[in-house]
């Protein structure tokens, strides 16, 4: 389900339940206090450097090519190479209304461990509410990219979001694995593109 695309940082807990595993992509779910929507965590290791992954993730307009059910993705403001705002609309099947959101991405790297963290909470404002589209107002996110040998990176991706509108929580939770699984499978293919494979970023240390 497309709600899995909205990235969210979940406090470290141990009660994650494995709900799907395919092509070395492992997806877990976890109950969240005071929320009907479960959190999702994805673990996988990809044949790409941290730089390649950062190049892909910060190329937000390219998200239409690999993020599941993304209808549009537009860069709104680039504060710096490590900080930006973007708008995205997500397609849902009829009779559900599409969702949209504005996210604020911020990248940091631990120079000692070389681990890169990208946080991406949604923010209010910047884009007016659109008729017929439900605005997502509650979502925060995190990617943690850890070097795992030459041109290999371990990814931990956690998420939790309230999609808003009249979508029952059980429906969101039931299909929670589909969005991340399809997204990560597509991401692996995108990483093979020359613009990511040959990326050079002065602000990332491999």
CA-nearest of 66, 160, 157 to 116 is 157
Domain count, the chain: 1
Tell me if 140 is assigned to some domain.
yes
Tell me if 80 is assigned to some domain.
yes
pLDDT in tens, 142-170: 999 999 988 999 999 999 887 877 777 66
Q: Please answer whether residues 83 and 58 qualify as being in contact, where contact means their C-beta atoms are separated by less than 8 angstroms.
A: no
The tokens for 184 are: 């990560």
Nearby residues of 192 by Cβ (< 8 Å), 6 or more positions away: none
CATH code at 160?
3.30.530.20
CA-nearest of 64, 77, 201 to 145 is 201
* Domain range enclosing 49: 2-196
Tell me if 12 is assigned to some domain.
yes
Q: Give the pLDDT score at 1.
A: 38
Q: Which residue spans within the chain are E strands per DSSP?
A: 17-22, 25-30, 39-46, 70-80, 83-90, 98-109, 116-119, 133-135, 138-147, 153-162
Tell me if 204 is assigned to some domain.
no
How high is the mean pLDDT of the chain?
88
Q: Give the pLDDT score at 70.
A: 94
Tell me if 103 is assigned to some domain.
yes
């Amino acid at each position: 389900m497309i709600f899995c695309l909205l990235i969210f940082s979940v406090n470290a807990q141990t009660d994650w339940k494995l709900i799907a595993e395919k092509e070395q992509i492992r997806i877990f779910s976890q109950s969240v206090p005071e929320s009907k929507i479960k959190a999702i965590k994805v673990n996988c290791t990809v044949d790409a450097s941290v730089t390649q992954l950062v190049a892909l993730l910060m190329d937000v307009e390219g998200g239409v090519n690999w993020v599941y059910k993304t209808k549009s993705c537009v860069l709104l403001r680039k504060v710096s190479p490590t900080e930006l705002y973007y708008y995205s609309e997500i397609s849902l099947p009829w009779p559900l209304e599409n969702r949209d959101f504005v996210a604020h991405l911020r990248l940091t790297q631990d120079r000692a461990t070389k681990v890169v963290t990208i946080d991406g909470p949604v923010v209010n404002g910047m884009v007016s509410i659109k008729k017929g589209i439900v605005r997502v107002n509650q979502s925060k996110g995190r990617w943690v990219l850890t070097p795992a040998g030459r041109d290999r990176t371990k990814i931990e991706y956690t998420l939790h979001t309230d999609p808003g509108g009249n979508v029952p929580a059980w429906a969101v939770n039931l299909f929670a694995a589909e969005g991340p699984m399809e997204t990560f499978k597509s991401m692996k293919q995108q990483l093979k593109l020359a613009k990511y494979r040959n990326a050079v970023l002065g602000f990332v240390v491999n």
